[in-house]
Amino acid sequence: MSPENRQTDPVSPPSGLTRRGFIGSAASLGAGVGLGYAGRSLLSGNESSDQEVRGTDRVEFYGRYQAGIATPAPEFLSFAAFDLATDSPDDLRDLLQEWTAIAVSLSQGRLYRPIPEGPDVVPSDPGEAVDIGPAALTMTFGFGPTLFEQAGSDRLGLRDRKPPRLADLPQFRGDSLQAARSGGDLCIQACSENPQVAFHAVHTLTRAAQGKATLRWSQDGFGRTSSTSRSQITPRNLMGFKDGTNNIRAEDTDQMDRFVWAGSEDGPVWMTSGSYLVARRIKILFDVWDAISLEGQERAVGRMKISGAPLGQEDENDALNLDAQKEGQPVIPRDAHVRLASPQNNQGVRILRRGYSYSEPAETGSGEIDAGLFFISFQRDPHRQFVPLQKRLADSDALSRHLLHTSSAVFACPGGVEPGGFIGEGLFT
Amino acid sequence: MSPENRQTDPVSPPSGLTRRGFIGSAASLGAGVGLGYAGRSLLSGNESSDQEVRGTDRVEFYGRYQAGIATPAPEFLSFAAFDLATDSPDDLRDLLQEWTAIAVSLSQGRLYRPIPEGPDVVPSDPGEAVDIGPAALTMTFGFGPTLFEQAGSDRLGLRDRKPPRLADLPQFRGDSLQAARSGGDLCIQACSENPQVAFHAVHTLTRAAQGKATLRWSQDGFGRTSSTSRSQITPRNLMGFKDGTNNIRAEDTDQMDRFVWAGSEDGPVWMTSGSYLVARRIKILFDVWDAISLEGQERAVGRMKISGAPLGQEDENDALNLDAQKEGQPVIPRDAHVRLASPQNNQGVRILRRGYSYSEPAETGSGEIDAGLFFISFQRDPHRQFVPLQKRLADSDALSRHLLHTSSAVFACPGGVEPGGFIGEGLFT
């Protein structure tokens, strides 16, 4: 957890308290939403319950940065993109205030609001995460280019607030994007150690958006495909290789400042301490990949499959030696993924990867497994970091021949929120 | 874990050994598949690795019953149905032998075969579960009605082996089934405490089927929606209610014998100690469900939302009192789910539920969350247990009005395998 998100705010329950322990609280939220309900069912139900309380890890929502970027990536993701269903900036502000209130509650392992008493009252919280605990839940919010300008229209009067760095991504070689599963005005990235907690967050936030924003596309993921903290081991992606060995780690604050966090000099002001999120749904073409020899796979990646060591080295964490030769040929092939993606070959540029594996029902009639990587990266400037890197990979990378990019989006994630504030409030000042 | 699956077989590694610890073994498998490879990369990679070993729980594959029925349901599911791509019974036998060999290896936390040395050899195991450990993996295999007879054709010469109880399920009121996501000649139910391990199992088995069987449909799940053992707490489904309180528990061996396991008198012989699996993909219509008052939801279910207690009672495990009245009306409404599904109203009939929640990408343009229950039940006779129960629910259940059944299948899961045997060998004798 980054130190910034460890801070305490006046309404937080003590660390370790869960939905169960904190139930029935009538503390008011920072965003000003009162909790006036008595919480009858919830209170009585939980008092008589003998269930274990699980997932007591709690990640602070408030802080200089939004949680879910520098905080250690947990095992599960629910991601959702929304289209705004209103042209009223007041509606957008209301939505962001309500989303903030929900995020504060849920990140503490509480219901959005205690389930109310009375025959005709519809619960604010759908309830499927009751008893589970916060399970390290984070919710990270972002704004897409179309929020600021859509087909030339200044739909919300926010055009002059649009960050220049939030321009649409270009088409890359081989892209096979589904428009309906790309883009979006708003996004939510919910991460948790428990998939039901991540689902519940997106469910609750989607429900609260009714009439103001509509679910455009969504994507669940598991088994984070990068480490984002020194406390984490390198996971293995669905191609069977360790992934993210050379990722930025949150502990490298100089790297985070240089490559991830937008500074006050980067503009606009409301993006200070924010970051730009790029999402790409990348299908693995298993029919071909699975038929390649071990050496063929290792040459495409540039690392040993099991150990993760760079070709020609012994250990996963050994430095890449891009100059090493054997019998007149480079040990790490010219088109190997690690060579083309290395900072050495990209003017030192790095990004913070925070993606997940995905697996979906097989496409009808295809006979193929539909699984791969839901790539997420955070960077200070997508067009100087992600775009040149991805262009190089799309053009020349041996690994890319086994991958199909089917979804793409970019979002501006503003800086964090202090108690009393709400996500993106700088848009309205 | 059922006692039957705790037994030791001569080639099992000691309990607690994982892929990491057992790597490089050249022990031969019960099914006769030799492990002749040296396992270079695997061995060296793991010896130099400093990764944690996770998920050391191991469920025995061999036994009187197939694992994955009476063994405690872990948190994750990968389910797949296949169409046979051959009319040769020898091909089917070869496939079942190879699937058995894979299941033996993977359930021990090992690779299918150690990754081989040499430039041109394609690894038998795709590798994404290396280092994770067995994570309680079970693989349960079943045969669909079409394996025995397809459009009147005795395609494999197995028509006379077809169990009468394996007849197709009828259409139920409100069913909205997608044919391409229903049925199938063969099925695999992979369950694990780690979603990547469950994925890897289906991936490896699908790959091994190449040329003999083709993936027809697949479904992943999380957060088991029933307890199948007294050691488990009752989970909550995505409607926010505790689910499976009154499920059969594996410890109730008399109930298992009466309702789940096919006996030798049930016929055919090859199904002795097997069970019939019914799968139903059930979408929750959240738009309506989420707009109902707490009391409305509780009356549709017949239980309190948070505590899980039957209406009018205090505790989740209190017995249903279907006769209780208040002000001349039944406390548990006439159309409440628990009333219609109760054994009291179904000639004492019970089933073993072992389903999972699912969440998928939102359907394009729908604006709706696509999530619900991937219902799985095991029973001795689907047409005397599942069918009348589901007919009653489809016709009258208040809860069913918020559900849409979109996929359906029935499979005959044969009895378990002893070392040296293979799944379904009784089909060929």
How far away is chain A from the Cα of B295, in angstroms, using its nearest Cα?
Answer: 5
User: Residue B280 is inside which H or E element, if any?
Assistant: strand B275-284
Exposed e or buried b per residue across A47-79, where buried means at least 16 C-beta atoms within 10 angstroms of its C-beta: eebebebebbbbbbbbbbbbbbbbbbbbbbbbb
* Residue A100 DSSP SS3: helix
Distances (CA, A) of A186 to A42, A385, B167: 32, 22, 49
Work out the minimum CA distance from B107 to partner chain A, whole angstroms: 18
How many residues in total does chain A contain?
A: 429
Rounded to whole angstroms, the Cα distance separating A227 from A222 reads: 13
B329 in contact with A, Cβ within 8 Å: no
Taking CB atoms and an 8 Å limit, are A218 and B48 in contact across chains? no
Whether B10 contacts B419, CB under 8 Å: yes
Mean pLDDT to the nearest integer, A95-116: 92
Contact A29, A108 (CB under 8 A): no
Can you tell me the distance from the alpha carbon of A188 to that of A2, in angstroms, rounded to the nearest whole number? Answer: 20
Question: Do residues B369 and A206 lie in contact, with contact meaning Cβ atoms separated by under 8 Å?
Answer: yes
Evaluate whether B274 touches B417 at the Cβ level (below 8 Å).
no
Please state, in angstroms and rounded to a whole number, the distance separating the CA atoms of residues A285 and A122: 45
Specify the pLDDT at position A55.
Answer: 63
Q: Please name the helix (run of DSSP H) or strand (run of DSSP E) that holds residue B22, with its range, or none.
A: helix B19-22
Using DSSP's 3-state secondary structure scheme, residue A147 falls into helix
What pLDDT is attached to residue A11?
31
The number of angstroms, rounded, from the C-alpha of B189 to the middle of its chain's C-alpha atoms is 4
Cα–Cα distance, B13 to A420 (Å, whole number): 57
Cβ count near A172 (within 10 Å):
18
C-alpha Rg value of chain A to the nearest Å:
22
Q: What is the DSSP letter of A379?
A: E
Tokens of B343: 């054994």
When CB atoms are compared, the residue of B202, B233, B359 closest to A199 is B359
What pLDDT, on the 0 to 100 scale, is given for residue A230?
Answer: 86
User: Which residues are CB-contacts of B239 (< 8 A; sequence separation ≥ 6)?
Assistant: A126, A128, B284, B289, B297, B301, B402
Query: Residue B59: what pLDDT?
Result: 96
- The beta-carbon neighbor of B315 closest among A48, A233, A240 is A48
Comparing B53 with A270, the larger pLDDT belongs to A270
Residue A269 touches chain B, beta carbons under 8 Å? no
- Residue A198 pLDDT class (50, 70, 90 cuts): very high
Interface test with A, best of B306, B315, B317 (most A CBs within 10 A): B306
Q: Do B223 and A127 touch (CB under 8 A)?
A: no
Residue type, A427: L
Instruction: Check pLDDT > 80 for residue A75.
Output: yes
Query: pLDDT at position B5, please?
Result: 53
Specify the pLDDT at position A26: 26
Output the pLDDT for position A2.
44
**Do A126 and B290 count as a contact with CB atoms less than 8 A apart?**
yes
Per-residue model confidence as pLDDT tens digits over B331-376: 999 999 999 999 999 999 999 999 999 999 998 889 999 999 999 9
Q: Which of residues 300-319 of A touch B (CB under 8 A)?
A: 304-309, 314-316
* B103 three-class SS: helix
pLDDT in tens, A203-233: 999 999 999 999 999 999 999 888 888 888 8
Q: How far is A324 from chain B (nearest CA, A)?
A: 20
Q: What are the start-end ranges of the H helices in B70-127?
A: 89-107
Chain B interface includes A396 (CB < 8 A): no
Residue B282 · residue B381 · CB < 8 Å = no
What's the CA gap between B184 and B203, in Å, rounded? 17
Q: What is the pLDDT of residues A40-71, one digit of tens each?
A: 222 222 222 323 334 679 999 999 999 999 99
Q: Which residues of chain B have pLDDT under 50?
A: 1-4, 6-54
Give the nearest partner residue to A293 out of B119, B296, B361, using CB atoms.
B119
- Cα separation of B423 and B96, whole Å? 6
Examine the pLDDT at A99 and tell me if it is beyond 50: yes
User: 101-140 in A: which are within 8 Å (CB) of B?
Assistant: 115-116, 118-123, 126-132
Q: pLDDT digits over A416-427, tens only?
A: 999 999 999 999
Reduced to 3 states, what is the DSSP secondary structure of residue A159? helix
CB-based contact, B288 to chain A, within 8 Å = no
Least confident segment among A80-84, A119-123, A178-182 = A119-123
Burial class (CB in 10 A: 0-12, 13-18, 19+), A257: exposed
Shortest Cα distance from A274 to chain B (angstroms)? 27
Strands A275-284 and A403-413: antiparallel
What is the pLDDT averaged over residues A166-186? 97
Query: Which pair of tokens denotes residue A344?
Result: 């050495």
CB pairs under 8 A between A and B: 231
- Whether residues B130 and A239 touch (CB distance < 8 A) is answered with no
Residue A419 preceded by cis peptide, ω within 30: no
B188 touches chain A (CB under 8 A): no
Tokens 């939510």 appear where?
A: A188
**Is the model's pLDDT at A8 over the cut of 70?**
no
Nearest CB partner across the interface for A236, out of B118, B128, B195: B128
Any idea what the Cα angle at residue A426 is, between residues A423 and A427, rounded to 5°? 95
Provide the shortest C-alpha distance from residue B423 to chain A (in Å). Answer: 23
CB burial class (10 A; 0-12, 13-18, 19+) of residue A209?
A: buried
Compare CB distances from A365 to B180, B291, B367 and report the shortest one's residue: B180
Per-residue pLDDT at B55: 63
H helix intervals, A252-342: 253-259, 286-289, 294-301, 337-341
Mean pLDDT of A291-304: 95
CA distance A392 to A247: 18
DSSP class of B361: P
Residue type, A27: A
Do the chains contact at A195 and B359, CB–CB below 8 Å?
Answer: yes
Contacts of residue B154, Cβ cutoff 8 Å, sequence gap at least 6: none
Q: Supply A42's token pair.
A: 């919830």
Other beta carbons less than 10 A from residue B10's beta carbon: 9
What's the whole-number average pLDDT of chain A?
Answer: 87
Percentage above 70 pLDDT, chain A: 86
Q: How far apart are CA A396 and CA A384, in angstroms?
A: 19
Q: How far apart are the first and last CA of chain A?
A: 30
Q: Do A305 and B206 touch (CB under 8 A)?
A: no
Region A131-152: mean pLDDT is 96
Looking at the complex, report in whole angstroms how far the Cα of residue A33 sits from the nearest Cα belonging to chain B: 21
